[in-house]
Structure 1
């Protein structure tokens, strides 16, 4: 109770009023680290374990004892909804001590922001994008606003570890600290961190401090978990529950599933949607999907079920492209204990917002990462209920004469692999910190120049390259960038030799969209010759495929300025498109999927359909030997390679085969389904295939050689403003998993 006694009286009163019998382990550990050290702190504990209170109880105590002379703490949250939620929680706590709590993002009234600007004090809750806008437009006020800043709390820190947004957050903290002349302690919060040590090092970048990482022993918890499989046909029979093994008590319990047969289905009904419709009735649930487009389609289908059954609409929708009013309506309804509605959502409700007593979460198909699965699972299980998630895996019925790879239920295997990796190994994806963030480099260069006014080239380089996130960027790369930005008039060189923002650059920096480093979901019109096919979001690069209007098309040209995609119709399937999150699958997940096919285990959470489908897949895998032999002949000169590699190593291998090996092997018609398999025609033998791969792997390989002729791989938001050489270099050295690919080829050589 020493930590409790150290807390300020108003916090002790808060704990008594909420009938807490004891502090949680995370709160004791955080109090010890904040009160008794001067280091940064990384708090990792399960969802709803009290991490926010653990961080703020000691911070508020210190503020109570010695009030800061400016904003004393910044809380950086990844989502507006999370900030709104935490604002209400902190406001209640701080009101007693007269410590102001401010929130600042695009939906907050200007009058509230003006009060903070007049009286900088207490705690500021803000998104990275709003903090960028604040530094850009209130540059001269930064020292006054944050001159006594003592803490920066970064919530859901894992969500900032895999792309430019996390890098932007680090850059913002360092820029603000230099401008204000402070070195605040950083406190990171997360429920799903795969590598605590590297995350701690990331958190401390540029501070000169170490990071304290309290070891919190997790209590054993029961999950209520089920996974069912459906073919996308309206005539599929309804199925009951599957078998359950009691062999391994650590594995979560299977769920009893109701069998309600009275519902009327709309035309062309999807049995997976019918299953969700039945088992959300009278309950408060979330349905997670993996994309905005799927979110819209699923919500529409579920509402059609309501209409067909003459029931009132009980389905809400929540994703990042909706207006604030739509999102807030869904959040308010979900918090209302009297309402029993279900919200279909993307990752926007994956993170820490408390939306009340949720009874059940559904996941349509498998997420791509263990961390996403854990975050989504953690939305339920609050208020003393066990966490509960139902996976609904959907698949097209394989054609009677389908080739081997099309008969494997990849999403079912992926779902099982994600669960087993955590249940058996407590494994979560490690952070990806080895990128070459040229897009962010452009953004931070323009932000620094726009906020500071005229700077010398040397001064600008010193200011930007001293930011710790750019430690892999060379002086030569930066000179190349500045010359290019001058040539495209984003930067202007004045007669005295100084640099200012150019006319084209002003069009960027003056837009509210400039504050964000992630791509907005802007629609592109897709055309084939004179025919308009429809619209898509985030077009694939030239040479890739997309599905639209019931056909498959290959991209011939992307006009980013006019948001046009030109393509030509082809046959085949569309591979899973990759990016920062969609399709970002770790090699360990693919290897575990292979083990799922190999092992003869009945997972207790699989329901009847899923058990049957997995048995079929295991039978197919055994007969084809696909888990032991990576290269399978599908008949004649058609072959299939199963590399069991994660997205970025798979992408490198695909290009390595096309560009380096195909000419020697007579490979044609290469078609990938990333990151599961590569199908192609080949005139050579199996022995020739592995011999050529091995010989080519032994030769020196510059990753730049894996970029297609004429390809400029634009993926990040500001890549279009970079010199082509840097775009290619960032992709080749920062994204392609070349070393992992080479290791896999060497492992085949040993077989």
Structure 2
């Protein structure tokens, strides 16, 4: 029997109605794995390849043959927008079979949730944070809701494998299954998995099953990629050419104010006209600034506003307006966005995506480009690399266009090797350990220390945590009254802990800044961090507003819209770049290879950068003299190994080298002054690196390196240990120093 024949009749009818001539490879492979094994399944295939249907066609078929007596499948999505989108798609599919589909997150009406609680059935779509809230607030109902749970589908699983949020998801699944007495199979979906076997191991954490990873031959896809470079200045450089006469004409029709002098923005403005596009940026601040600038161009040209905005700090109404407009086939608008539109949501027939500067990861590049290329169009992405014009007296490292080189490296490493960042699963997740300890205690009530330790440390994600470290944590939590000891010797949530656990912010393990809701009359615009005083300006929702009132008690900001431009601030947005990318960046500067996707300005800027590199020797000699006793080190290391190198130089080598005034541009270079020769520099580094030392020695005196959300509630020794052993890339750093020794000698 073929996979198609095995599907339930209503699935077959759906396929006929959709005019599919055959099943896609991913659907045939998923059907075979789900129907013919009892293992977990990891489905990896390109964006828009039909992974969701591939997972749910066999699941719904099995349900139609034997309907679960509770919720039968949980779909965990990383974003509300993705859940809303999949809810509509699954509803259409399940209607005929009378299989309910429920969605559950902070923007869903309570009436919808109550219906599911009264009659648990079908499929539940939920975010990790809402699942955490359900485990806490509906603890007693878990057996009723999930007693016959058979499948857990985790969408965009790659997005959950680089931090505590993925660990939280796996812990919640394990806890839920124990409480419900269920043993569901897990199905992971992703378009960008760098190490499938590691991802399969992660997916199976805490189960007695292995993971089937079908090998799917993807058809070759033709990409349309371009990359152009612009200086952020009022005038073009003499050798810099604008892309078209239209941009020059645009400048003539606008005033000469700085906000109209950005050639990169003008380039995007002209090439989105009459098209449906996304403009990706790497931070919420930049998202606001770019939207404001593009809208100012509309105003200067007396054109209707054709730019929307979408990021995590906007209200649900603003986000949904952008999503609906992008789905409308007759609306040709452009949305400026962060990673919130990077994942799975189908937003219709997009013609192209723009990326301002380089993203931090290959995974992000692939996801963002994958938003286009649906409905038989090739994926299309235009990189717009913007760089501040170097001052005439700028030193060497500042004259290298790092973002341009990074963008090229990201593309090349995938084209040449199909390489994507592997998951990082070797951290010591003490912040998450605190969170799951408090969550377990809050949901279960009083537990003996032994029972609590048994429940928490037996969760597979904490396999690197020792009993001794856990005792250290519990003693500290008793001291700060986050937990307390009862007369019977049990543990319960303490007074200070209740304030944490009872806040809605407790459900999330990712970092959140203290936010204020911004209102314009009765309309909610979104949230900002630390509002300015009354009378100052803020940027949000793509417009500029003047603050009229700040209610600190209720965390509300009231404002009125005005014209103008002002930076937005939502909190820091750090990037995590892999060493593989830095090494490919070095090769970009070394090689004479041309890249067909580079446009005129980018070709010229790369040529300059390569000449600078050859003249200075920066790709061959890691240490370059900038004049006098000023030096610059180019380690070609990723973010966390670069962290280790900075600390190693300061704490282990500085005195012997006479090293002072260290200044870093992570993860590209480190500048400093020193009193020794290059030969002595490398000899000292190698000598110190060969000594055995505890990673804890790379913590600065008096430093408590708070890195994750709940680190502030941990004993200092565990914060330091988690950073030293789980964050710093010490082995990679030592390996690079060893390479240098060979070259210098």
Show the counterpart of 2:249: 262
Greater CA deviation, 305-314 or 82-91?
Answer: 305-314
1:510-589 counterparts in 2 under 5 A? 510-522=502-514, 582-589=574-581
The correspondence for 2:423, drawn from 423, 428, 431, is 431
The correspondence for 1:468, drawn from 460, 463, 472, is 460
1:239-258 counterparts in 2 under 5 A? none
Conserved in 2, the CA contact under 8 Å of 1:240 and 1:257? no
The correspondence for 2:716, drawn from 709, 712, 724, is 724
- 1:335-393 per-residue CA deviation (whole Å, 9 max, x = no partner) reads 11111111100000000000011011000000000000000000000111110100000
Give, in angstroms, the shift of residue 131 of structure 1.
0.4
> 3-state SS of the aligned residue for 1:500?
strand
Show the counterpart of 1:39: 39
Give, in angstroms, the shift of residue 241 of structure 1.
8.6
Conserved in 2, the CA contact under 8 Å of 1:240 and 1:607? no
The correspondence for 2:295, drawn from 295, 303, 315, is 303
Q: Normalised by the size of structure 1, how large is the TM-score?
A: 0.90
Conserved in 2, the CA contact under 8 Å of 1:368 and 1:582? no
Show the counterpart of 1:251: none
- Does the alignment pair 1:414 with 2:406? yes
Show the counterpart of 2:560: none
Q: Normalised by the size of structure 2, how large is the TM-score?
A: 0.91
Conserved in 2, the CA contact under 8 Å of 1:8 and 1:61? yes
- Does the alignment pair 1:480 with 2:467? no
Which ranges in structure 2 are unaligned for 5 or more consecutive residues? 517-526, 531-554, 556-570
Show the counterpart of 2:661: 669
> 3-state SS of the aligned residue for 2:432?
helix
Conserved in 2, the CA contact under 8 Å of 1:241 and 1:607? no
> 3-state SS of the aligned residue for 2:59?
helix
CA distance in 1 between counterparts of 2:370 and 2:503 reads: 36
> 3-state SS of the aligned residue for 1:165?
helix
Q: 1:616 and 1:685, CA in 2 relative to 1: closer, same or farther beyond 3 A?
A: same
Give, in angstroms, the shift of residue 69 of structure 1.
0.5
Show the counterpart of 2:111: 111
Give, in angstroms, the shift of residue 602 of structure 1.
1.1
The correspondence for 1:614, drawn from 579, 584, 606, is 606
The two structures, once aligned, show a CA RMSD in angstroms of 1.8
- 1:69-93 per-residue CA deviation (whole Å, 9 max, x = no partner) reads 1000000000000000000000000
CA distance in 2 between counterparts of 1:239 and 1:631 reads: 31
> 3-state SS of the aligned residue for 2:12?
helix
The alignment of Structure 1 onto Structure 2 pairs a total of residues equal to 690
Conserved in 2, the CA contact under 8 Å of 1:99 and 1:122? yes
The correspondence for 1:599, drawn from 586, 591, 596, is 591
1:441-452 counterparts in 2 under 5 A? 441-452=433-444
- 1:430-453 per-residue CA deviation (whole Å, 9 max, x = no partner) reads 000001111000000000000000
Show the counterpart of 1:15: 15
Show the counterpart of 1:286: 278
CA distance in 2 between counterparts of 1:241 and 1:331 reads: 35
1:148-163 counterparts in 2 under 5 A? 148-163=148-163
Q: 1:618 and 1:424, CA in 2 relative to 1: closer, same or farther beyond 3 A?
A: same
CA distance in 2 between counterparts of 1:399 and 1:311 reads: 36
Q: 1:580 and 1:473, CA in 2 relative to 1: closer, same or farther beyond 3 A?
A: farther
Give, in angstroms, the shift of residue 132 of structure 1.
0.5
CA distance in 2 between counterparts of 1:428 and 1:434 reads: 18
Give, in angstroms, the shift of residue 262 of structure 1.
2.4
Conserved in 1, the CA contact under 8 Å of 2:283 and 2:573? no
Which ranges in structure 1 are unaligned for 5 or more consecutive residues? 243-255, 525-534, 539-562, 564-578
> 3-state SS of the aligned residue for 1:628?
coil
Conserved in 1, the CA contact under 8 Å of 2:247 and 2:266? no
1:115-126 counterparts in 2 under 5 A? 115-126=115-126
- Does the alignment pair 1:507 with 2:499? yes
Q: 1:350 and 1:188, CA in 2 relative to 1: closer, same or farther beyond 3 A?
A: same
CA distance in 2 between counterparts of 1:715 and 1:362 reads: 31
1:728-739 counterparts in 2 under 5 A? 728-739=720-731
Give, in angstroms, the shift of residue 265 of structure 1.
3.9
- 1:136-161 per-residue CA deviation (whole Å, 9 max, x = no partner) reads 01111101110000000000000000
- 1:572-601 per-residue CA deviation (whole Å, 9 max, x = no partner) reads xxxxxxx99732000000000000000001
- Does the alignment pair 1:82 with 2:74? no
